[in-house]
A and B are shown apart, each in its own frame.
Chain A
C-alpha cells in the first residue's frame, strides 16, 4: 500500500541565543521516520518535551523562524515542498490543534469554521458537521471563551473536517476530558480514518492511543525509539526498553517507575539516549545506534531481545 505520508530521517533544530550574541544550535528532533497509510491511525507517543508537537508543525510547515528542518517528507509519493504544503494545508492536510488558544477569540464559532464563507452550502455544511459532533445550532453563535473544554475540542475537530481531509494531524486532543468524552473524541477520529484518511495522533496518553491506533511510534528525547503494532503491547512483543517501561508504568500494569529523566536537548551526547536509564546497557550502546527493522516493527536498540523484566 502506498503511504499517504512518509517521513524519512527528519531532524529539527533551533537556533538560540545563548549568552549575549553567541548563538547555539539546539537539536530537538533527530532522525525521525514514520509512515501513514490511508485509513490508518498512527499514534506518536512520548513524554512532554520530547518534540511531538514540533513534528506536527514540521509536517505542516508552520515551524517558527529560528527552526531548521532537514530530511524528507513525502505526501502521496511526492516531496512535500513548502509551496505544496501551503496549498494543501487546511484542505487535504489538516491540524486539530492542541488547545482552544488556536481559535480566533474574536470570531464566533460558526463563521470561524466556515472560514468566512457565507454561501448557503457552507452554512449547511457547517451545520451538519457540528451536528455530527453533538453541537447544536446555538454553538455557532458562541465565542471561543464561552465554550467548555469538551465543546472546544469538538469545534476544533469540526474546523478540520469542513473539507474532506486526506491527512489529519491531531495534537494532544484529549487532556482535561473525562474518559467518556475522550473516548467519544477518539471515536470521531477512528471514523475519519475509516472514511479513508490517514490520521496522525500525537499524545502522551498511551492507553487512549492504544484504543484506536493501528500503529504506535514511541518518541524519546526527540528520537523515535520504536514502531510497533498496537497489538504488540498487550501481547508483550515490545522491542525497546523505554516502551516496555511505559507499558509497565500503567496503573493497571504494575505502576512501576524507572529512575532518571529524559535528557535535555542541549545535553545530548552520542549513542543511545536511553542508556543512562537502561537496565541492560552495554558498552556498545555508547556509540551511534541505528533505527532498524525488527520483528514487524522498528527499533533503535542494539539488544532488543534482552528486554525482559529489568
Chain B
C-alpha cells in the first residue's frame, strides 16, 4: 500500500498562477520522505491535497492505486499541521478533543508526556508544544497508514522537538507507517529521512 500523488495541480483562485503544477510524489510504507522548498512554494498545500483537505484541480491522489476520496471512515492519511492552536476546538476541553474520534491508547499518552491534568484544560491554557502532542496522539488512529508532518516541531524548543521525533520514529517503524516530513531545517531532515525531495516550481 503506497501513497501516490499523480500529476497534481492546484490553484487557490481562478485566474491566479497555480501553487502546484504537475507534482508527482510517492511514499511507501516504512519510508520517511523529507520535503523541502522555499516559503510559499506549496509544501503545505501538497500536504492538504494528500490528506484530502483540498481537492486537486488536476491529477489524482492514490492510496494503494485507488483514489483517496473513495476511502470511507477514518482517513488512512493523517495530517499534523504547523499551528496546533488552530487545529483544536478552542471551546472544548482537550480530553474531549482527544477522544472525539475514538479511544487513544494509554501508552501513546505516556510516550508523548501528556499529563492527565491537561485533559481538563482548554487550548488557551496550554502552550503550542503541549497542544501539538494532542494533535499527534489524535492522528495515530489504528487505521492510520501515512502521516504527513508539516513543520510539526518548528514552534518547539529543541528538547521537545527531539522528544517528539524519537517517539514518532519509533511508532512509524513499529507500525510500518509512511511519513512525509516537511521542514525548513535541512539538518533535521537529514537526521530523520530515508529520502529527501525538493519542491520547486
Indicate, yes or no, whether A interacts with B.
yes
- Near A by CB (< 8 A), chain B positions 152-201 give 154-163, 165-166, 184-188, 190-191
For residue B190, which residues in chain A have a CB less than 8 angstroms away from its CB?
251
Task: Name the CB-closest residue of B to A245.
Answer: B159
A255-270 CB contact bits vs B (8 Å, 1 = yes)? 1111111001001000
Q: A46's contact among B82, B157, B191, by CB below 8 Å, is which?
A: B157
Q: How distant is the Cα of A49 from the Cα of B160 in the complex, in angstroms? A: 12
Summarize A's interface: helix, strand, loop or mixed: loop
Closest residue to B165 on the A side, CB-wise?
A255
Q: Which residues of A contact B185 (CB under 8 A)?
A: 179, 251
Stretch at the interface among B47-55, B99-107, B126-134: B126-134
Q: How far is the CA of A247 from the CA of B159 in the complex (A)?
A: 9
Q: A23 at the A/B interface (Cβ < 8 Å)? A: no
**Given known A-B contacts A249-B159, A255-B162, A261-B115, A49 and B128 have beta carbons under 8 A apart:** yes
Contact, CB under 8 Å: A177 / B184: yes
Which of B39, B126, B156 has most chain A Cβ within 10 Å?
Answer: B39
B66 part of interface (Cβ distance < 8 Å): no
- Say yes or no: B39 contacts A178, CB within 8 Å: yes
Does B186 lie within 8 Å of A47, measured CB to CB? no
Asked whether A148 is an interface residue with its Cβ less than 8 Å from the other chain, the reply is yes
A181 touches B162 (CB 8 A): no
Contact across chains for A251 and B187 when beta carbons are under 8 A apart:
yes
Decide: A249 near B39, CB < 8 A? Known: A259-B113, A261-B130: no
Q: Given the complex, which residues of B lie within 8 Å of A264, measured CB to CB?
A: 115, 117
Tell me the nearest residue of chain B to A277, going by C-beta: B159
Our pick among A150, A246, A257, A267 for the contact of B39 (Cβ within 8 Å) is A150
B residues less than 8 Å from A148 (CB atoms): 39-40
Does chain B have a CB within 8 A of A180? yes
B-contacting residues, A222-255, CB 8 Å:
242, 245-247, 249-252, 255
Contact of B130 with A249 in the complex, beta carbons under 8 Å? no
Q: Are A48 and B127 in contact (CB under 8 A)?
A: yes
Q: How far is the CA of A148 from the CA of B188 in the complex (A)?
A: 25
* A150 and B156 alpha carbons, distance in the complex (Å): 20
Q: How many residues of B contact A (CB 8 A)?
A: 33
CA distance A245 to B26 in the complex (A): 36
Contacts of A47 in B (CB 8 A): 127, 129, 156-157, 159-160
CB atoms of B154 and A176 under 8 A apart: yes
A261 touches B40 (CB 8 A): no
Q: How far is the CA of A214 from the CA of B127 in the complex (A)?
A: 28
A15 nearest CB across to chain B (Å) = 15
The residue in chain B whose Cβ has the minimal distance to the Cβ of A176 is B39
A200 at the A/B interface (Cβ < 8 Å)? no
Given contacts A49-B129, A261-B115, contact A179 B184 (CB under 8 A): yes
A28 to chain B, nearest CB (A): 11
| Docked-complex contact B187 and A252, CB < 8 angstroms | yes
Q: What is the interface of chain B, defined by CB distance below 8 A to chain A?
A: 37-40, 82, 113, 115, 117, 126-130, 151, 154-163, 165-166, 184-188, 190-191
12 A-B contact pairs sorted by A residue (CB < 8 Å): A47-B127, A49-B129, A150-B39, A175-B154, A176-B154, A178-B39, A249-B157, A251-B185, A251-B187, A255-B165, A257-B159, A257-B166
